Structure 1
Amino acid sequence: MKRIELDARDMEHPTPLQLALNHLQQMIEGEFLYMLHRKNPIPLLEVAKVKGYSYISEERDGVWHILISKNRGIDLKEMLDV
């Protein structure tokens, strides 16, 4: 799996959402978005849910780690723990 990284911790709204949505539109099978954010991006996760993407969001030490993939068969929890 190829990881597309987006560090949005220092970005202001709506830039993180716009960049993430752009990545999701261009994403192909075998890729996943790995995003770091200071908040849980609920609107982005709602879009991922509606589009049928697999996703996980977890907070660690004040930083949110978000993974989104078109591949529903991938274990994102395992990818998050790596």
Structure 2
Amino acid sequence: MILLDTREFDHPLPLEMAVEAFRKLSGEEVLHMIHRREPLPLFEIITKNGGRYLSVMEAEGLWHIYITRSRTVELEHPHV
């Protein structure tokens, strides 16, 4: 799993960082993005480019987004 924590960055940097990381994903890799909000524009980019995602709000202002290109990888948020 590749971790991308974008909580400290302002728009549009988190989107740009996530798109760049998504472009580099291959095989069964999963990108775990942590963000302050749900990045809806990112989801459109992912789905238009053959990817899948799972978005989980853990707390107010804390989102976990899991992204993959794989059709077989189970995307899940660990319950800690």
Alpha-carbon distance, 1:43 to partner? 0.6
Q: Mapping of 1:13-52 within 5 angstroms?
A: 13-52=11-50
1:53 alignment counterpart: 51
The unaligned stretches of length 5 or more in structure 1 are none
Please give the TM-score of this superposition, normalised by the length of structure 2.
0.90
In 2, Cα distance between equivalents of 1:73 and 1:29: 10
The unaligned stretches of length 5 or more in structure 2 are none
Q: Secondary structure at the match of 1:6?
A: strand
Overall identity of the aligned pairs, in %: 35
Alpha-carbon distance, 1:30 to partner? 2.0
Please give the TM-score of this superposition, normalised by the length of structure 1.
0.88
Q: Runs in 1 of length 4+ with deviation above 4 angstroms?
A: none
What letter is aligned with 2:54?
I
What letter is aligned with 2:12?
P
Q: CA RMSD in A?
A: 1.1
- 1:81 equivalent to 2:78? Answer yes
In 2, Cα distance between equivalents of 1:61 and 1:20: 21
Alpha-carbon distance, 1:28 to partner? 1.2
Larger helix proportion of the pair: 1
In 2, Cα distance between equivalents of 1:6 and 1:13: 15
